[in-house]
A and B are shown apart, each in its own frame.
Chain A
Amino acid sequence: MNVTNVTNFKVISRRVGDVAVLYPQGYLNNIAGENLVRECNICLEREIRKVVLNFSETDFINSIGISMLLGITEKLKDSGGTLCFTNLSKAYIDTFEMLGLARYMHIFPGENEAMRFLTGINPS
């Protein structure tokens, strides 16, 4: 498990088979967003093209953070990969839907559902 810490923001990551699960913690703003982008780039460099972002420990995502998430989504898609979002609070799911972003995202209630979608295997 890796831990990257920028001011009040941390990204913890772990690898499950060919899937990387990232846990952004704290406030996802511009600085933190760049950090998260870097983490995703590392995944791509390591040929990991299935990424789960678990937001269970994310306090807030501001509009700059949202734009960073769009960038990551696009980059993974262009690389033939898939990005899944899990454990988003209802407020964020509503917001992504209202902004028209949800249809471009794979959003799941929890990590297990996302893993099943990515691997076709029921995680134990």
Chain B
Amino acid sequence: MPFNTIPIKDFVGRESELGYLKRFAGLRENAIAGNILLEGGRGLGKTELIKQAYRIIFLEEKNIVPFYYLFQRGTLKAAHFAKDYFTRFVRQYLAYLKKDPDFIDAMGTSLTRLIPVLASLRVEWMIDLIEDFQEQVKSGDLYGQILAAISAPVTAARKSGRPVFIMLDDFHMATQLYETSPGDVPGLISLFESSMKTYLCPHVLTGSPEGVLETIFTDNSFRGKAERMFLGQLPEDIAYSLFKSYCDKLEIKGDKKIVLKFLRVLGGNPLYIRNMVRTLWKMQRRDITERDLWESYSFEVSEGETEFYWSSIMGEFIMDAGQRRTGIELLMHSIKSNSEFHGTERLAKILGIPESSVISVIVALQLAGIIQGGDKIRHLKDNVLQDFIQSLYMREVEGINTQRIQELIEAKYSSMSGNVSSSFEMVIPMASDAELVAAKAIEQIGRNINLAPDVINHLQLALIESCINAMEHSGSYDKKVFLKFNVSTERIEIIIESPGKMFDVEAVEVLTVEEKFRSEHKRGWGLKLMRTIMDEVRVDRIGDRTRVILIKNIKRNEVAG
């Protein structure tokens, strides 16, 4: 399974994250780093990233053993989980020692049959581990089995002196581990605590629903043992490179300006990009027009692989037909009102169902990663997911047929037109007034596309703030700020990256103007200023860098005469 990845040359735009994961195991061995909490929306490539890291470590590292485990609904019963986890670990360890990936997938071979191979490799301690585990199974000691499974990588690392790099995919599912029926023994996840404390076993944990992993880590046993790493959307130029590399393989050609417009709707999501190219190929489109793109898109969100992907997730978390309809109506209500969900009491009145049903559906949608949790429950800002939900609503609630749904989705986008684009990069030192150099650059870029002077001024102000933030919050010895400008006549995307400490958006104190006036501390306008000026401000952690993405969609009246 962990070797089931796309070719590394097609894995574009995540080089810095991959490099960081590769270096991470070594940092942990020297007690410099903790564990990594890899977060991000669905389809952004978290699983692919850790699988790529797994493959590289497996093939290139002589002294670090990679172990990948995917939590799945089918193996959440504790006894099943323990056996599955332990068996996969033994196989992957053996595969690493033999440098033979075939051992990883040979699930048909019993552990007992692997013993002679382990003996030939002189890893008797692994044989002891197997025998101990089998003893626990025989005695029926469930906790003994789970502990033996979870601690196997730790024991292996201690006995061999080789660190084991543990990659736990969809780790949030571990909150649902149970003994005989779901929910009977909450807190089994805490049994991972000891493993995570071991300096020889760095962990990378992934989870899709934003905030769910953080919820796990509010538990005292986990708190303080992990650093956060966000996997955000691919920037526009990288998204285009990925799209083009898939198209080149399938001999599909298309005009860049049309494709860029299309990719903006996909929001830099690698899964969507791959699915769309496959659909273009299946529809036998070779020299693609704008119409081809929207045709394939409407197909994808209503009956293609993307529709299947989201339908499967919904089906996994909402199995009851009544709850499913409530979920669809609730999501559609949120999209239509283009805002946060109203309170559950009001939603219950709107949908005409008990409040308890609304609450249980919201919880399921949060777990599925379809809506965000936290104090305010919001639907995801994902065009494709929204179109999928709209298509689902039209089919299941309004009874509209698929062909008509596709026509409606096509009509929504087909009037859009493409434009010229270009990209600029620069590096500025973290030095006094260096942000003015960046401001000068965006001034010329703005002039190149005939932006109105006031709009250029606004962009300068936002960029100056972002550069100042990068300089003030970094604390890095590498005193540089990396800037990239992706520009078209309809959109400007500015990427500001700085090494060092994370700029924690959540930590920014939000005070009203009145409170600021009364307060001694009058600073802290930067983020608000950026958000006021730009259409979108995103802050991500990319490896050891903070990446801020500023996006401005250019309106017709913002272009000079």
> What separation, in Å, do the CA atoms of A66 and B525 have in the docked complex?
8
B528 touches A99 (CB 8 A): yes
A90, closest chain B residue (CB): B454
Scan A36-78; emit 1 where CB is below 8 A from any B CB, else 0.
0000000000000000000000011011101110110010000
A70 touches B517 (CB 8 A): yes
B439, closest chain A residue (CB): A60
Interface residues of B in 502-549 (CB under 8 A from A): 512-513, 516-517, 522-526, 528-529, 532-533
B533 touches A63 (CB 8 A): no
Q: Does any Cβ of A come within 8 Å of B340's Cβ?
A: no
> What separation, in Å, do the CA atoms of A64 and B432 have in the docked complex?
14
A91 touches B454 (CB 8 A): yes
Residues in A whose Cβ lies below 8 Å from that of B525: 63, 66-67, 99
Residues in B whose Cβ lies below 8 Å from that of A59: 436
Interface residues of B in 331-381 (CB under 8 A from A): none
A7 touches B454 (CB 8 A): no
Q: Does any Cβ of A come within 8 Å of B464's Cβ?
A: yes
Q: Does any Cβ of A come within 8 Å of B460's Cβ?
A: yes
B432 touches A70 (CB 8 A): no
* Count of A interface residues, CB-CB < 8 Å: 26
A102, closest chain B residue (CB): B513
B516 touches A63 (CB 8 A): no
Residues in B whose Cβ lies below 8 Å from that of A100: 512-513
B433 touches A63 (CB 8 A): no
Residues in A whose Cβ lies below 8 Å from that of B454: 89-91, 94
Partner of A104, one of B460, B468, B513: B513
Partner of A91, one of B458, B468, B522, B526: B458
Interface residues of B in 418-446 (CB under 8 A from A): 432-433, 435-436, 439
Chain A, interface SS category: helix
Least CB distance from B45 to A in Å reads 34
**Contact A99/B532 with A8-B433, A66-B525, A91-B454 known, Cβ cut-off 8 Å:** yes
**Contact A62/B464 with A7-B433, A8-B433, A98-B532 known, Cβ cut-off 8 Å:** yes
Q: Does any Cβ of B come within 8 Å of A95's Cβ?
A: yes
Interface residues of A in 92-115 (CB under 8 A from B): 92, 94-95, 98-101, 104
Q: Does any Cβ of B come within 8 Å of A85's Cβ?
A: no
Least CB distance from A65 to B in Å reads 9
Partner of B526, one of A63, A68, A70: A63
Residues in A whose Cβ lies below 8 Å from that of B433: 7-8, 27, 29
B452, closest chain A residue (CB): A90
Interface residues of A in 1-34 (CB under 8 A from B): 7-8, 27, 29
Chain B, interface SS category: helix
B436, closest chain A residue (CB): A27
> What separation, in Å, do the CA atoms of A89 and B461 have in the docked complex?
12
**Contact A95/B461 with A7-B432, A104-B513 known, Cβ cut-off 8 Å:** yes
A60 touches B523 (CB 8 A): no
A95 touches B529 (CB 8 A): yes
> What separation, in Å, do the CA atoms of A116 and B526 have in the docked complex?
34
B530, closest chain A residue (CB): A63
Residues in B whose Cβ lies below 8 Å from that of A60: 436, 439, 460-461, 464
Least CB distance from B154 to A in Å reads 48
Least CB distance from A91 to B in Å reads 3
A8, closest chain B residue (CB): B433
B467, closest chain A residue (CB): A62
Scan A78-89; emit 1 where CB is below 8 A from any B CB, else 0.
000000000001
Residues in A whose Cβ lies below 8 Å from that of B5: none
Q: Does any Cβ of A come within 8 Å of B476's Cβ?
A: no
Residues in B whose Cβ lies below 8 Å from that of A98: 532-533
**Contact A95/B533 with A7-B433, A90-B454 known, Cβ cut-off 8 Å:** yes
Residues in A whose Cβ lies below 8 Å from that of B460: 60
Residues in B whose Cβ lies below 8 Å from that of A94: 454, 458
Least CB distance from A20 to B in Å reads 22
Partner of B532, one of A8, A71, A89, A95: A95
Least CB distance from A60 to B in Å reads 6
Least CB distance from B202 to A in Å reads 38
Residues in A whose Cβ lies below 8 Å from that of B134: none
Q: Does any Cβ of A come within 8 Å of B303's Cβ?
A: no
Residues in B whose Cβ lies below 8 Å from that of A91: 454, 457-458, 461
Partner of B522, one of A29, A62, A71: A71
A73, closest chain B residue (CB): B517
> What separation, in Å, do the CA atoms of A29 and B526 have in the docked complex?
12
Residues in B whose Cβ lies below 8 Å from that of A71: 522
A65, closest chain B residue (CB): B525
B464, closest chain A residue (CB): A62
Least CB distance from B522 to A in Å reads 4
> What separation, in Å, do the CA atoms of A100 and B439 have in the docked complex?
24
Residues in A whose Cβ lies below 8 Å from that of B526: 62-63
B436 touches A104 (CB 8 A): no
Residues in B whose Cβ lies below 8 Å from that of A92: 457
> What separation, in Å, do the CA atoms of A70 and B516 have in the docked complex?
9
> What separation, in Å, do the CA atoms of A68 and B525 have in the docked complex?
11
Q: Does any Cβ of A come within 8 Å of B292's Cβ?
A: no
The 6 A-B residue pairs with the shortest CB-CB distance, nearest first, are A91-B457, A63-B525, A67-B522, A63-B526, A98-B532, A67-B523
Q: Which residues of A contact B (CB under 8 A)?
A: 7-8, 27, 29, 59-60, 62-64, 66-68, 70-71, 74, 89-92, 94-95, 98-101, 104
User: Could you show 17 A-B contacts with beta carbons less than 8 Å apart?
Assistant: A7-B433, A60-B439, A60-B460, A60-B464, A62-B464, A62-B526, A63-B529, A64-B523, A66-B529, A67-B524, A70-B516, A70-B517, A90-B454, A94-B458, A99-B532, A100-B513, A101-B513
In the complex, besides A60-B436, A62-B465, 12 extra interface pairs with C-beta distance below 8 angstroms are A8-B433, A60-B439, A63-B526, A66-B529, A67-B516, A67-B522, A89-B454, A90-B454, A95-B533, A98-B533, A99-B528, A100-B512
